Structure 1
Amino acid sequence: MKKILLLCSAGMSTSIIVKKMLEAADKKGLEVEIKAMGLEMFQENLGNYDIFLLGPQVKFKRDELNKIAQENGKRVEVINPMDYGMMKGDKILEFALNLID
């Protein structure tokens, strides 16, 4: 099972994206775990997820968090602002899964 964690300033806006991503995964018959949390939860969840996606509003944290993630064999990337704004859960899911494989 692939595990994806979305991070934003408070975990609120990304929770809607999570719902859309889970719906897209369900349609494709994929078994995934996707959650949304605030940035402050990154370190304590580092070992629990395969990939970490940042909401566009916190993209300035990418380099800092990615450095920590890479030390642990993980990766942090920013969600495409257009896909995020239009709530394209299927596109964001595809993006995440391609980063894991």
Structure 2
Amino acid sequence: METKTIMLACSAGMSTSLLVSKMQAAAKKTGVDYKIFATAASDVPNQLTSAAKPDVLMLGPQIAYMKADMQKQADQAGIPMAIINMQDYGMMNGAGVLSAAEKLMKSK
């Protein structure tokens, strides 16, 4: 089974990097192997058109204003996208965000 890739995007890719490690820990606990990484919003177009494009895109709440543009790009790439729940983000709830990403991947 191929490893699924979850991409988190925020202003600079910094604040979501802590969330990435929390999500990786949550994935390890449930025995699933995902490639989870954070990137800056400005790098999203490159990631979506790369050969190793992600299976799902999650936006940090602080860039929710970019949703329409990001959604258009995600749709063109055939990738489901959502904004990370503000409460899960604020609490750095890796398991909660991971669960949301998994639901998105299943909906694809």
- Please give the TM-score of this superposition, normalised by the length of structure 2: 0.90
In 1, distance between residues paired with 2:77 and 2:12?
24
* Partner SS for 1:10: coil
Q: Which amino acid aligns with 1:73?
A: G
* Runs of 5+ consecutive residues of structure 1 not aligned to the other structure: none
Segments of 5+ residues of structure 2 without an aligned counterpart are none
Taking the aligned partners of 1:50 and 1:75, their CA distance within structure 2 comes to 7
Asked if residue 2 in structure 1 is aligned to residue 7 in structure 2, the reply is no
Once the 2 structures are TM-superposed, how far is the Cα of residue 77 of structure 1 from its aligned partner? 1.0
Structure 1 runs (4+) deviating above 2 angstroms are: none
**Which residue number in structure 1 is paired with residue 32 of structure 2?**
30
CA contact (8 A) 2:81 2:104 kept: no
Residues in 2 aligned to 1:8 and 1:33: alpha-carbon distance in whole angstroms: 17
Letter in 1 for 2:55: D
Partner SS state of residue 33, structure 1: strand
For each residue in 1:14-59, what CA deviation from the matched residue of structure 2 results, as whole angstroms up to 9, or x when unmatched? 0000000000000000010000010011011114101111100000
Aligned residues: 101
Tell me by how many angstroms 1:75 deviates: 2.1
> What displacement does 1:71 show?
1.5
Q: What's the counterpart of residue 79 of structure 2?
A: 74
Cα root mean square deviation, aligned: 0.8
Distance in 1 (alpha carbons) for counterparts of 2:32 and 2:65 = 31
Q: Is the 8 A contact 2:88 2:96 kept in 1?
A: yes
Q: CA deviation at 1:2?
A: 1.2
